[in-house]
Amino acid sequence: MSTTVPVKAQNSVAKKQTPEFVQLLDPDGRRLSDELYDPWVSDVTGDQLASLYEDLIIVRRIDTEATALQRQGELGLWPPLLGQEAAQVGSARTLRPDDFVFSSYRENAVAYCRGVKLPDLVRVWRGTAASGWDPFEIGMATPAVIIGAQTLHATGYAVGCKFDGADSVSVAYFGDGATSEGDVNEAMIFAASFNAPVIFFCQNNQWAISEPVGLQAQRPIADRAPGFGIPSIRVDGNDVLAVMAATRSALDRARTGGGPTFIEAVTYRRGPHTTSDDPSRYVDPAVAAEWEAKDPIARVEAFLRSEGVLTDELAASIQARADAVAAEFRAGCVGLENPEPLSVFDNVYATEHSGLARQKSQYKAYLEGFEK
């Protein structure tokens, strides 16, 4: 059964909003009412929510496949996003093509939603390229590994949009750990000073590698932004509908001259920081179980089934689609060709100069030494 009826809170199951954060779907899949944020998703139908559910299933399947590829020696490293799917999908699906994303290394679901080709997600992690894709083709910069640096890039881009008279918005994705970096604080100061149309989207996944968020943040991270003159929203990052509402609100503010917004999406990193990490050394299993019960996919599935939108047939079709995407992803990964060694010198400078030519010649001679 499909439906074009907006996904609204029903009196029989709705309850008032929790003051902790914006939440429209609770972990049990019940639709909650919120006078402030309900209007931002009043147009979302059951079919559209089912499409978001499909995104969630697919990006989790891609992430699982990538982790397996790394364990099998096909990737050098991988930063899993398990548990953070709703924060990424719910925000990314609100953006226009002319908006621009500046992310860290974990936003592979955002990249999928922006249209990055599957093999391009792993070029860098396989070591076959220094960059995964052309940023201007999809409106998303390649991931920043230097923690927090992308917030400066996003702010500068946003100021440029303002100077150009465009209503495009830039979005910077980063984690809770990055909020302790000077770059992030400098970016927020600059954004507030120049009323830049930028969204600072913090995925608070509770861990900065192995450091718990409570060690660096004595209060909710969202409370920091008003000190810079930037309004903030704290949202349930495991609730795809609430994330979409919060992001739409922030986008509207930016497009209409209201300036920057800080969004703290409260979620949980259910896997390792990267595949080189062992979270069992520092994660309390009881806490992990609590967050697993708040799974972002399970609540959407429960709601869609209660509304008669998600049938067994549709669920099986979505899973088959996810498996097909994963197979395509794997084939694309193992099929990536190794670059010519000397190509490392390409695109370093706009024009070649004597110093670069000398280094290239020396490296060529070094490589030829192995052939003798």
Edge-to-edge, what's the strand order for the sheet holding 261-266? 100-102, 170-175, 198-204, 261-266, 232-236
* 267: amino acid identity, one letter: T
In the chain, the percentage of residues whose pLDDT exceeds 70 is 95
Q: Which pLDDT does position 371 carry in this prediction?
A: 77
Contacts of residue 367, defined as CB under 8 A and 6 or more positions apart, other chains included, come to 341, 342
pTM as predicted: 0.92
Q: For this structure, is 273 an active site residue?
A: yes
pLDDT of residue 180 exceeding 60, the answer is: yes
DSSP line for 220-277? -GGGTGGGGT--EEEEETT-HHHHHHHHHHHHHHHHTT---EEEEEE----S-SSTT-
Distance CA 54, CA 238 (A): 15
Q: Which of 61, 273, 299, 330 is catalytic?
A: 273
Mean pLDDT of 261-266: 98
Q: Which pLDDT does position 70 carry in this prediction?
A: 98
pLDDT of residue 262 exceeding 70, the answer is: yes
CA distances (Å), origin 1, targets 49, 149, 233, 309, 310: 13, 46, 35, 5, 7
Q: Which of 282, 349, 353, 366 is catalytic?
A: 282
Mean pLDDT of 84-98: 98
pLDDT of residue 120 exceeding 60, the answer is: yes
Q: For this structure, is 61 an active site residue?
A: no
What is the CB neighbour count within 10 angstroms for residue 284? 9
Which pLDDT band holds residue 28 (cuts at 50, 70, 90)?
very high
Q: Which of 269, 270, 299, 330 is catalytic?
A: 269
Mean pLDDT of 197-217: 95
Q: For this structure, is 105 an active site residue?
A: no
Which pLDDT band holds residue 17 (cuts at 50, 70, 90)?
very low
